[in-house]
Structure 1
Amino acid sequence: MKLIIQIPCFNECDTLPQTLGDLPSRIDGIDIIEYLVIDDGSSDETAELARQLGVHHVLRNTTNLGLARSFARGIDFALGAGADIIVNTDGDNQYYGGDIAKLVEPIIRGEAEIVIGDRQTAKIEHFSPGKKLLQSFGSSVVRTFSGVQVPDAVSGFRAISRHAAMQLNIVSSFSYTIEMLIQAGKKSMAVASTPVRTNPKTRESRLFKSVFRFIERSGTTAIRMYAMYQPLRIFSLLGALIAVVGMMPIIRFLYFYFFVGGSGKIQSLVIGSALLTVGSITFVMGLLADLVGRNRQLMEMTLERVRRLDLEFRNRDLRGGAPLPSRENLSVQEKLKHRGDAEHS
């Protein structure tokens, strides 16, 4: 069984050696462990440093594509490289690499297809009370949208089986965490969670400039993804709300017509009729969106089959010629140790 640990990076020269040094070289049940660095258009020497440190695979975006697109590109590459399990961690060394064994264990045992690392944010000292509350609230919202019961929905420390990775189609440009869980829930994937440790904070987050910006981007992503997979429910609720509002001026018109003067208040009838029409049109739009969604599901099934056939064709001889995990991974650790000794000399 082959594990590829992918690390999306953007200007991570300062923290990449620590991140790589934390990664395991051996895990029970895993035959081969390889590292993959996705350099998202860094202006420093992140990609070159990764090669110097012996990272097995280095991808470099010519421009900054964002975390979600870099994550998706890494998933595609890892599948092409023959990965049976893919683990994603951050280049800022936020997550403790020694817990990767805990992440992949449920997948090795066949109990889960996706495993999310629970950072236990309530216990993280450098998280402010406001940020802890926001993390808890945000995770509860994502659980509601996705139907997946995980305590830390936005954790980027996660393991994905090959079968699950084949079915994922990340289209967001902001963050993959929310979209991935919504897709997993709607596709009935087995998702588990396990407590993981975090390392001391090394820098401020580059994913968003303010908490309000993060809330805005995360909220719109969750609503967009939920509407993509449940369009009829979204449009039906919206249409019903508009229709209820439209009934109020019509009831007002009928009240004055029968019980007051028998004439006038025609503007209420016009406004109410217009709102009822809009509500009906919204419901019909939901029906059309639902049909489009069904077609998209068929396209995703076709894409998965094409991807599977393509990867099987490309990787049919890969496993037989794969390098031994011990030599490759020890070379990475040895280079990290040599670099550390040189810096202290």
Structure 2
Amino acid sequence: MTRLIIQIPCLNEADDLPAALAALPREIPGIDEIEVLIIDDGSDDNTSEVAARWGVHHIVRHRRNRGLAHAFQSGLDACLSAGADIIVNTDADGQYEGADIADLVQPILRNEADIVIGDRGVGKNAHFGPIKRRLQTLGSAVVRKLSGTDITDAVSGFRAISREAAQRITITTEFSYTTDMLIQAGRKRMAITSVPVRTHPTLRPSRLFRSIPRFIMQTGVTIARAYTTYNALRVFVGTGLFLAFAGLAPILRFLWFFMNGDGQGHIQSLIVGGVLMILGALVAVMGMLADLITTNRKLMETTLHKVRKLEEQLARHEKDSVALDLPSVSAEPGTVPLTPVERKAVR
């Protein structure tokens, strides 16, 4: 039995959520059960109540806004606890065509991919302005290079994830999960593909960022952090070598003048060059330490993956041995427990 859970991160989406829920497919070939999970990321409207009235199977509520990346990770954890075999992430703003979920999950059903990205065709998308098209294309090219993947729409939030892939993904950024997740998945050698999807014009400004420059800055920081996490030795040693070679130039300049009997007036070149070479050596040593930390992170991620597997086996054993209704989301600090009326039991 294959269970699909469609998760929708929400922030003050009471008005738009009904249309998004109505557009979701009720049946998909190859899928036995389709459920919906809402992550209410600290909304100050009645988003959770609207979701409950529409019969949403699982609702996760944060007491305060934690950001899209944290909401996405909370959704993954909740979907895994609810027994999802495939997880689809979409938005509540109506940008994505809900019917395309059927196409999005097919590569996973055929065991061809671990992660499937909905490609919006950013270079020619009529719903994007010219500046956004260029920025999306450029950003996707950078992420494609750094992640070692062949994805042309790196920041698309419309994506399907297999259970195994979701267990191995841990989002660490506080801004947006899209690029962090792709770089992680690429470096972990997951099978990633994309399928074309349809889009609709959004009727409201994005709640993720306030301006394009702010989005560019925060996305750049996220990409740099994610890439450095998995390529610390290359980043730090490369930077150290650059500084060392930069320091070599003024030292050679000093030596040239010194050998020609004019070294007294160029001692500053020797000082600058020496400082740069020392900095380069220090940065290279930092790279070695960072590489050890990266290795430790990989070991911790492997342990976390095994823990999630053990939790899954334990939950399955408990369900088989005791006929109890379990809450759809385990309690966590900052998450409001749901009443039995608001949630449905995990089947």
User: Could you tell me how far apart the structure 2 residues matched to 1:99 and 1:313 are?
Assistant: 34
The answer to whether the Cα contact below 8 Å between 1:11 and 1:42 also exists between their aligned partners in 2 is yes
Is the Cα contact below 8 Å between 1:88 and 1:158 reproduced in 2? yes
Deviation at 1:317? 5.7
- Equivalent positions of 1:326-345 (< 5 A) are none
The one-letter code matched in structure 2 to 1:68 is A
1:175 equivalenced with 2:164 (yes/no): no
The within-5 A match list for 1:196-275 is 196-275=197-276
Alpha-carbon distance in structure 1 between the residues aligned to 2:263 and 2:35: 81
CA distance in 2: counterparts of 1:21 and 1:120, whole angstroms: 25
2:285 is aligned with 1:284? yes
Question: Measured at CA, do residues 42 and 262 of structure 1 come closer, stay the same or move farther in structure 2, by a change above 3 Å?
Answer: closer
The 3-state SS of whatever aligns with 2:123 is: helix
> Where does residue 297 of structure 2 map in the other structure?
296
Q: Distance in 1 between matches of 2:214 and 2:147?
A: 22
- 1:262-293 CA distances to partner (integer Å, 9 max, x unpaired)? 54422221221111111011111101110111
Match runs of 1:91-130 below 5 Å: 91-130=92-131
Moved over 4 A (4+): 317-323
Greater Cα offset, 255-264 or 277-286 = 255-264
SS of structure 1 residue aligned to 2:105? helix
**Does the 8 Å contact 2:236/2:287 carry over to 1?**
yes
Q: What whole-Å deviation, never above 9, does each CA across 1:228-284 have from its counterpart, x for those lacking one? A: 100000011110111111111101110110024354422221221111111011111
Q: In the TM superposition, what whole-angstrom CA distance separates every residue of 1:307-342 from its partner, at most 9, and x where no partner exists?
A: 11012211346599899xxxxxxxxxxxxxxxxxxx
Residue 149 (structure 1) aligns with? 150
- Residue 111 of structure 1 and its aligned partner are, at CA, apart by 0.2
Task: Tell me what 1:131 maps to.
Answer: 132
The answer to whether structure 1 residue 51 and structure 2 residue 52 are counterparts is yes
AA aligned opposite 1:41: G
Alpha-carbon contact 2:229-2:294 (below 8 Å) kept = yes
Inter-partner Cα distance in structure 2 for 1:315 and 1:120 = 41
Deviation at 1:141?
Answer: 0.7
- The one-letter amino acid of 2:29's match is D
Q: Given that residues 81 and 315 in structure 1 are in contact (C-alpha distance below 8 angstroms), is that contact kept between their aligned partners in structure 2?
A: no
Question: 2:220 corresponds to which letter in structure 1?
Answer: G
Q: What's 1:326 paired with?
A: none
CA contact (8 A) 1:164 1:189 kept: yes
Do 1:9 and 1:46's aligned partners in 2 also have CA atoms closer than 8 Å?
Answer: yes
**SS, match of residue 74 in structure 1:** helix
Q: CA deviation at 1:189?
A: 0.1
Number of corresponding residues:
323
- The one-letter code sitting in structure 2 at the alignment partner of 1:257 is F
* TM-score normalised by structure 1 residue count: 0.91
Q: CA RMSD in A?
A: 1.6
Contact 2:122 2:136 in 1 (8 A): yes
Shift of 1:218: 0.2
- Of 139-148 and 188-197, the range deviating more from structure 2: 139-148
Do structure 1's residue 73 and structure 2's residue 74 form an aligned pair? yes
Secondary structure of 1:127's aligned partner = coil
Task: Confirm or deny: 8 A CA contact 1:118 1:196 kept in the other structure.
Answer: yes
Gaps of 5+ in 1: 324-345
User: Contact between 2:118 and 2:196, CA under 8 Å: does it hold in 1?
Assistant: yes
CA distance in 2 between partners of 1:181 and 1:318 (Å): 34
Q: What is the identity, as a one-letter code, of the residue corresponding to 1:119?
A: R
Kindly, what percent of the aligned residue pairs are identical?
54
Q: Output the TM-score relative to the length of structure 2.
A: 0.90
1:123 is paired with a residue whose SS is coil
Q: In structure 1, the residue corresponding to 2:217 is in which secondary structure?
A: helix
- The match for 1:312 is 313
**Structure showing the higher helix proportion among its residues:** 1
Instruction: Check the 8 A contact 2:127/2:200 in 1, yes or no.
Output: no
Q: What's 1:334 paired with?
A: none
Q: Aligned equivalents of 1:257 and 1:179: distance in 2?
A: 51
